[in-house]
Structure 1
Amino acid sequence: MIIRPIAHQDLPALQAIAIESGPGFTSLIDDHEFLVNRIQHSIDSFACPVQSPGQQSYLFVLEDEASGEIMGTTGIEASVGLSSPLYHYHRSRVVHHSRELDLFNSVEVLNMCNHYTGCTEICTLYLRPRFRRAHAGKLLSKVRFLFMAQHPQRFADTVIAEMRGVSDGAGESPFWNWLQAHFVDLDFATVTQLSGAGNKGFIAELMPKYPLYTNLLSEPARAVIGQVHPDTRPALAMLEAEGFRHKGYVDLFDGGPTVEAERDQIHSIAGSVPCRIQAIARDTAVLNRAPASAQGDLLAIANTRCEGFRATLTRQAVYLPEHDVLQVPAALARSLNLDDSAQARFVRLAPAAIGRQSHTRTGPGQTRQPRQEFRYAL
């Protein structure tokens, strides 16, 4: 499995993903022109020299090296809400108190806001069902943090993730059903497609501008506020293990939670290790050659390029901290476009199997990850 920047040749696979992911996956919609523009914008973003985050959008694909098929996608928006408003509801409480009548009542409300304008957003993570395999979802999630760690000037100090909210197999959202009945007579699939395409004028024109008292919502609508789609729970758990937290902001359409973290405190960024590569062939003289059958820690490794970015997983790497050298098989180095002595960065995803020697040592802040894989995150 190799992760690389998306290219125009990936358009058919990206369109298939847009269809497979269904309503609610607002960062990809089944529209040919939209997808072509999304790919071109990503290509331009990777190629552009950047000193501070702007409207760049980075879209990666996970490729099966053996077949060349695209297994999934993952992406980063450098700075959201600049060209098109990024709306959320914020959950808070208001108190109604009459001292004269000795009555006190605290109620929950939802207020529309643009709190996350200018933040970096991780998005568009989708692992196609027929390509589910061990650690593929982890790689799609973690690779964004390796890229951020290597190119911090391209991203904001705060990173957010909008988690997919609750909807059923038919694409019906209980939260939106209530809003549709009272305010916006459009179905869930239509509003998510409009929003995904950047057509958000209807939000300002039709959505309620005053606080929504949640006790006025239907019971099904109230029950899903701040909840994630069942398929998204493993992804949420993974982000929480990275240090992301929900602070009361939810999606306008399905009520799903948005989580946030400070970029430099994300565990996979703080714990990533810059190193120098030693490409190991059969006849290479090495300081510490592991047995051929040895299985070390599972590492996500990436080169340090932007336009030519590559990343993958391996258990066949040996880290020598005293020399700041990561020894990797020569074939793996070639797949990452890494020459001998080139710079790279890695982060540990899982320890070596019990009873086998671990040959790597990573930086601080590593967290044990959930074992369950996932289809999509947000």
Structure 2
Amino acid sequence: MLVVRPAMPADFDSLMELAVLSGRGFTSLPEDEQTLRARLDLSQASFHSEVAAPEAWYTLMLEDLAEGDVVGVAGVKAGVGLKRPHFSFRVVTLAQSSPTLDKRFDHRALVLVNECAGWSEVGSLFLKPERRKGGAGRLLAQSRYMLIGLEPQRFAEMVLAELRGWFDVDGSCPFWDHVASKFFRLEFDEADMMSASTDGQFILDLAPRHPIYAELLPQAASETIGRVHREGEAARAMLESEGFRFSGLIDIFDAGPTVAARRDDIKTVREGRRLRVRLGEDAYGEEALICSGAVARFRAVRAPVLLDGESAIIGRDAAAALGVKDGEMVRVKA
């Protein structure tokens, strides 16, 4: 059985393995020991309510209980842009007209903004390639919304997700090569690492202050504005099924799109029900997403459940994976 559980400091080796596998452009999983260890420490403190709610960052691990192997990771940041700006480019239309010539032109342009300060963020979704089937990715993705639904007041009213931008098959990033690198004068990997492991002051210092006209960019770069990485299409589809939509914002490094939704409109948050557990000897009923009833002991599985009024009848294996006993509360999304 697959279970989603809080990350712990002891998960460092597994998290580093996933970071290595994630490849270029996956900013939230840098191959940096200090950064990853700090993230695990912060996650543990977040689940134990040892940090202020807006500063929490919950990291979730997907574990195969039968093999004792961590096969995926995801995360929820309670608030972005609080201690450091959360910069994006907004894609805007600038209209210019000439009454003399009786002509009007609409120009697409990129404007540096910091619009999402205080929003929550779901991200860091990554699975080992061989485990991207059988619903594992969906379980991991939806577990983030189950966590939010347990105690919505811990999170902001708006939730965003940033999708990795386009990279060519040779590993190059057209938007970085033709646009962003002209301002930062760094290699992509160096800038990516600095973005994940520093306070981001270099972005504040060097990011462009004036609109960038898309028509002046090489076609290779302009075509990637808001384009999702080939390995991110499934993630985008899952986000859209939950109600996320393109926000008009893109990443300043790789031009990947930012999607957003109101917290209470996210499908899994909206449709989850708080029910009392009743144990059955065998697993029966329709398969559903189930999570334990408290953030501090969060665990999530997909398992058969029979809904009976305000009760959820689940099998003993599912109860053991969730760490819940008969009579305790769980949250269920059918």
So what's the TM-score if we normalise by structure 2?
0.96
The structural deviation recorded for 1:190 is 1.6
CA distance in 1, matches of 2:330, 2:291: 6
Is 2:314 aligned against 1:328? yes
Find the counterpart in structure 1 of residue 189 from structure 2. Answer: 189
Is 2:320 aligned against 1:319? no
CA distance in 1, matches of 2:57, 2:181: 35
**Contact 2:180–2:253 (CA under 8 A) maintained in structure 1:** no
Find the counterpart in structure 1 of residue 73 from structure 2. Answer: 73
CA distance in 2, matches of 1:182, 1:281: 64
SS of structure 1 residue aligned to 2:297: coil
Query: Relative to structure 2, which stretch is displaced further, 56-65 or 41-50?
Result: 41-50
| Unaligned ranges ≥5, structure 1 | 283-291, 349-378
Runs of 4+ in 1 over 4 A off after TM superposition: none
CA distance in 2, matches of 1:280, 1:179: 59
CA distance in 2, matches of 1:76, 1:263: 12
CA distance in 2, matches of 1:240, 1:181: 31
The structural deviation recorded for 1:235 is 1.1
The structural deviation recorded for 1:230 is 1.0
The structural deviation recorded for 1:273 is 1.4
User: Per residue, is there more strand in 1 or in 2?
Assistant: 2
Judging changes above 3 Å, is the alpha-carbon distance between structure 1 residues 142 and 106 closer, same or farther for their aligned structure 2 residues? same
User: Per residue, is there more helix in 1 or in 2?
Assistant: 2
- Mark the structure with the bigger radius of gyration: 1
- The alignment covers a number of residue pairs equal to 333
Find the counterpart in structure 2 of residue 352 from structure 1. Answer: none
Q: What amino acid is aligned across from residue 278 of structure 1 in structure 2?
A: R
The structural deviation recorded for 1:2 is 0.9
Q: What amino acid is aligned across from residue 144 of structure 2 in structure 1?
A: R
The structural deviation recorded for 1:42 is 0.5
**Contact 1:22–1:171 (CA under 8 A) maintained in structure 2:** no
Q: What amino acid is aligned across from residue 150 of structure 2 in structure 1?
A: Q
Find the counterpart in structure 1 of residue 261 from structure 2. Answer: 261
Find the counterpart in structure 2 of residue 41 from structure 1. Answer: 42
**Contact 1:53–1:156 (CA under 8 A) maintained in structure 2:** no
CA distance in 1, matches of 2:137, 2:79: 24
The structural deviation recorded for 1:96 is 1.3
Cα deviations by residue, 1:182-232 (Å, 9 ceiling, x for unpaired): 333212222111111134222222222100000011101010101101111
The structural deviation recorded for 1:55 is 0.8
**Contact 1:166–1:254 (CA under 8 A) maintained in structure 2:** yes
Cα deviations by residue, 1:47-80 (Å, 9 ceiling, x for unpaired): 1168x84111000101110111101001000000
Judging changes above 3 Å, is the alpha-carbon distance between structure 1 residues 19 and 328 closer, same or farther for their aligned structure 2 residues? same
Find the counterpart in structure 2 of residue 339 from structure 1. Answer: 325
Q: What amino acid is aligned across from residue 37 of structure 1 in structure 2?
A: A
Q: What amino acid is aligned across from residue 187 of structure 2 in structure 1?
A: D
Identical-residue share of aligned pairs (%): 34
CA distance in 2, matches of 1:338, 1:171: 45
Find the counterpart in structure 2 of residue 375 from structure 1. Answer: none
The structural deviation recorded for 1:240 is 0.8
Find the counterpart in structure 2 of residue 357 from structure 1. Answer: none
SS of structure 1 residue aligned to 2:66: coil
**Contact 1:76–1:144 (CA under 8 A) maintained in structure 2:** yes
**Contact 1:146–1:302 (CA under 8 A) maintained in structure 2:** yes
The structural deviation recorded for 1:330 is 1.7
CA distance in 1, matches of 2:254, 2:32: 22
Q: CA RMSD in A?
A: 1.6
| Unaligned ranges ≥5, structure 2 | none
Judging changes above 3 Å, is the alpha-carbon distance between structure 1 residues 152 and 213 closer, same or farther for their aligned structure 2 residues? same
Judging changes above 3 Å, is the alpha-carbon distance between structure 1 residues 253 and 146 closer, same or farther for their aligned structure 2 residues? same
Judging changes above 3 Å, is the alpha-carbon distance between structure 1 residues 224 and 46 closer, same or farther for their aligned structure 2 residues? same
SS of structure 1 residue aligned to 2:145: helix
Cα deviations by residue, 1:233-292 (Å, 9 ceiling, x for unpaired): 11111111111110210010111100000000111111111111101127xxxxxxxxx7
